[in-house]
A and B are shown apart, each in its own frame.
Chain A
C-alpha cells in the first residue's frame, strides 16, 4: 500500500491518504477485469432505476388498463407505443412493473446481506476469538443449518413466519449467515496469534476492542467477496420464494412474483414470462461479474489462476 521508498525512510501518511491509496490500488486491479466493470455499470443502472423508479416508469405499476389486456411489446404486431414491453393479463404496464421490481430486488439483497453479514461476523468472531467449547458449540449449530438445502430451509422458515417479503428476507438471511460465520472464524483464527494483536492486548485493549477494532478490519476481504455472492443468491432465492408463492405477495411487482402470475400464460403471451426472468438473470449476472472482479482485486490469494 505505502511505497517502500529507500531514500525517504519516514514518510508519514495521514489515514485519509492511506485510504485514498488503497482505493486507487483497488480500482487499478478492478478495472483490469472488463467483465467486472460491465457488471458494475449494469448494477449502477439498476440502482438508478430503483431510486428514480417514480420518475422513469411511464405508468403506475399497479394501474390496470382494462382496454389493454395482454398487449404484446411495441415491435410485435398489435403492440402499442404507450406500452413498450406490453402489458400483463390485467393490463398493467410490463416496463413500469419491471422498473419498480428493481426496488424489491435491491432492497432484498441489501437487507439479507446486512443481516447475514452482521450476524455471521458477530457469531464467527466470538467462535474464532474465544475458541474451546464456545467454538465447538457454535460451529456444530452452523453445521446443522448448512445440512439443509437453503431454499428448503427458507421455505420452512417462511411457513413458520407466514408468507411475505419481510419473512422471506429474514429466512434467507438466517440460511446465509453460517457462511459468513465460518469465513470470519477462519480469518480470525489466522489473525489472532499475530504480533499486532498481542501488541494491542499488551497495550491494554479489551476483548471487544481486540475483536472488532483490531482484528476485524484485517478479515474483511473474503467477507466482502462472500457478501457480493450472497447478494446475487439472495436476489435469486427471494425470486424463487416469490415464484413459489411464499415471498412477496401479489400485486407486488417483485420479479419472481410476476413470473408466478404469468405462468398460466406461457404458451399465449411469451413477454409476460420472458421479461421478468430476464431482469432477474441480468441483475444476478451483473452482481456475479462484479463479485469476480472484487475477489481478484481484493484478495490475490483467491485469484483464479
Chain B
C-alpha cells in the first residue's frame, strides 16, 4: 500500500509543476505590460516603472522569475490582490469554506439520491421507473445549470416566496466564524432561527449544483449494477436461496460501488466548474464567484493564484479517489 501511495505521489510532481507553469505563464501571455497588470497602477513614470519591475522581479530572466515564483509559492506567499490589497491566500481561505459547504451538500444530495435511483432502475430494468428516471437523468445531464438556477429562483423565491434569492444567511444574524460552515456555525451560535435561515439559503444553490453529478451518478450506478447482476457469483448467491434484498445490497451493490466511487470523485472538477455558475447566480460568497469577479476586475494576482489552487485541489481529490480505489479494490494496488 505504501509503495502504491508513493508511486501515485511521485506521478503528481510533473503534473503539479505543469500547473505552476500554466499559472506562471498566464500573466506573461496576457496582452499588455505585465508590470502594469500585476502592479495595478496606471500612468507610471519610467522610474516608478523600473522600481516596480525590480520589486516584482520582472527585470530578471524568465527562468529566475519562475524559480522565485515557485519559492514564494512553497512559502505560502501567493501575492496580494490588486483590489483589496490583502494577501490572496487569506482571501482564498476565508471564501473556500463557503464553496466546500456548497459542494459537500451538493455531492451528498447527488449520492443519496443518485445511487438508490440507479440501483432501483437496474433491478427493475425496463419498468416505468427505469424509463422515467433514466429520461430524467438524461435531461439533468443536458441541463444548462445557470438557467435551471434562474428557474428555481422564479418558482421558489418569486412565486412561492419560500427561499431567499441570494447570500448565505439573513442579515439579521451575526455570529463569529468558527468552522466557516454556515450550517455548523449557526447551530453553534445558539441563535434562534439562524440554522433555518442558513439552510434555506443553502438549499436552492446546492440542488442546482447537484443536478449534473446526480444525473451522472444515477446513470453510472445503473449500468454498473446491471453489469454486476449478470456475474456468476450473483447467480450462485441467488441459486443458494439467499434473500433477493441481500443479493442486491451485499453481493451486487458492493462490487458495483467501485466504478461509482470513481465517478463520484471525478465530479469534483464538475462541481468546481459548476460552482462558478451557481455562486454567480445566487451571489454565494465562495471561490467561484471570487474568480469570476477577479477576472472581470482584471485582478490578475487573484486569478493566477486561484487557478493554481483550484487545479491543485482537483489534483489532490483525484489522488484521494485513486487511493480509495486501491483500498477497496486490492487488485488495483497489487498490479
Known: A239-B144, A285-B142, A288-B142; 15 extra A-B contacts, CB below 8 A, are A143-B18, A144-B21, A149-B273, A149-B276, A149-B310, A150-B273, A151-B276, A160-B29, A245-B296, A266-B150, A281-B142, A281-B144, A281-B147, A284-B144, A305-B230
Q: Are A144 and B292 in contact (CB under 8 A)?
A: no
Q: Are A305 and B273 in contact (CB under 8 A)?
A: no
User: Given A149-B314, A150-B273, do A156 and B26 touch, yes or no (CB 8 Å)?
Assistant: yes
**What string of 1s and 0s marks CB contacts (under 8 Å) between B274-286 and chain A?**
0011001000000
Judge whether B158 is part of the interface by a CB distance below 8 angstroms: yes
Number of B interface residues in the complex (CB < 8 A): 46
Q: Are A155 and B141 in contact (CB under 8 A)?
A: no
Question: In the assembled complex, which residues on chain A have CB atoms less than 8 Å from the CB atom of B296?
Answer: 245
Q: Are A156 and B295 in contact (CB under 8 A)?
A: yes
Q: Are A240 and B291 in contact (CB under 8 A)?
A: no
Binding-face segment, A6-14, A77-85, A182-190, A270-278: A270-278
User: Given A140-B14, A148-B307, A276-B147, do A270 and B223 touch, yes or no (CB 8 Å)?
Assistant: no
User: Given A148-B310, A152-B310, A243-B277, do A259 and B146 touch, yes or no (CB 8 Å)?
Assistant: yes
Q: Are A152 and B142 in contact (CB under 8 A)?
A: no
Q: Which residue of A lies closest to B291 (CB)?
A: A152
Judge whether A1 is part of the interface by a CB distance below 8 angstroms: no
Residue in A141, A162, A244, A280 whose CB lies within 8 Å of B31: A162
**What string of 1s and 0s marks CB contacts (under 8 Å) between B15-50 and chain A?**
100110110001001110000000000000000000
A143→B314 CA distance, assembly (Å)? 12
A219→B68 CA distance, assembly (Å)? 45
Chain B: minimal CB distance from A167 (Å): 12
User: Given A151-B276, A152-B272, A277-B147, do A144 and B154 touch, yes or no (CB 8 Å)?
Assistant: no
Q: Which residue of B lies closest to A149 (CB)?
A: B273
Judge whether A159 is part of the interface by a CB distance below 8 angstroms: yes
Judge whether B242 is part of the interface by a CB distance below 8 angstroms: no
Q: Is the interface of A mostly helix, strand, loop or mixed?
A: helix
Question: In the assembled complex, which residues on chain B have CB atoms less than 8 Å from the CB atom of A143?
Answer: 14-15, 18
Question: In the assembled complex, which residues on chain B have CB atoms less than 8 Å from the CB atom of A244?
Answer: 276-277, 280, 292
Question: In the assembled complex, which residues on chain A have CB atoms less than 8 Å from the CB atom of B261?
Answer: none
Pairs of residues from A and B, 7 with the lowest C-beta to C-beta distance, nearest first: A277-B147, A144-B18, A149-B273, A151-B273, A284-B142, A285-B142, A280-B144
A141→B25 CA distance, assembly (Å)? 14
Q: Which residue of B lies closest to A233 (CB)?
A: B142
Judge whether A16 is part of the interface by a CB distance below 8 angstroms: no
User: Given A155-B295, A245-B296, A267-B158, do A277 and B19 touch, yes or no (CB 8 Å)?
Assistant: no
Question: In the assembled complex, which residues on chain A have CB atoms less than 8 Å from the CB atom of B311?
Answer: 147-148
Chain A: minimal CB distance from B176 (Å): 31
**What string of 1s and 0s marks CB contacts (under 8 Å) between B106-148 and chain A?**
0000000000000000000000000000000011011110111
Q: Are A240 and B158 in contact (CB under 8 A)?
A: no
Q: Which residue of A lies closest to B27 (CB)?
A: A160
9 contacts between A and B (CB under 8 A): A144-B15, A147-B15, A151-B277, A152-B272, A239-B144, A266-B150, A266-B158, A273-B154, A276-B147
Q: Which residue of B lies closest to A235 (CB)?
A: B144
A224→B273 CA distance, assembly (Å)? 25
Q: Give residues 244-261 of A contacting B (CB, 8 Å).
A: 244-246, 256, 259
Question: In the assembled complex, which residues on chain B have CB atoms less than 8 Å from the CB atom of A240?
Answer: 144, 146, 277
Question: In the assembled complex, which residues on chain A have CB atoms less than 8 Å from the CB atom of B146?
Answer: 239-240, 243, 256, 259
Chain A: minimal CB distance from B253 (Å): 16
Q: Which residue of B lies closest to A159 (CB)?
A: B295
Q: Chain A interface residue count: which class?
A: 35 or more
Residues on A facing B (Cβ under 8 Å)? 35, 140-141, 143-144, 147-153, 155-156, 159-160, 162, 232, 236, 239-240, 243-246, 256, 259, 263, 266-267, 270, 273-274, 276-277, 280-281, 284-285, 288-289, 292, 304-305
A285→B135 CA distance, assembly (Å)? 10
Chain A: minimal CB distance from B159 (Å): 9
Question: In the assembled complex, which residues on chain A have CB atoms less than 8 Å from the CB atom of B148?
Answer: 277
A246→B277 CA distance, assembly (Å)? 13
A284→B295 CA distance, assembly (Å)? 28
Judge whether B184 is part of the interface by a CB distance below 8 angstroms: no
Question: In the assembled complex, which residues on chain A have CB atoms less than 8 Å from the CB atom of B141?
Answer: 288
Question: In the assembled complex, which residues on chain B have CB atoms less than 8 Å from the CB atom of A284?
Answer: 142-144
Question: In the assembled complex, which residues on chain B have CB atoms less than 8 Å from the CB atom of A140?
Answer: 14-15, 18
A150→B273 CA distance, assembly (Å)? 7
Chain B: minimal CB distance from A187 (Å): 21
**What string of 1s and 0s marks CB contacts (under 8 Å) between B156-197 and chain A?**
001000000000000000000000000000000000000000
Question: In the assembled complex, which residues on chain A have CB atoms less than 8 Å from the CB atom of B18?
Answer: 140-141, 143-144, 147
Q: Are A160 and B30 in contact (CB under 8 A)?
A: yes
Chain A: minimal CB distance from B138 (Å): 6
Residue in B30, B142, B270 whose CB lies within 8 Å of A232: B142
Residue in A156, A243, A289 whose CB lies within 8 Å of B138: A289
Q: Which residue of B lies closest to A262 (CB)?
A: B150
Chain A: minimal CB distance from B288 (Å): 8
A266→B146 CA distance, assembly (Å)? 13
A35→B270 CA distance, assembly (Å)? 26
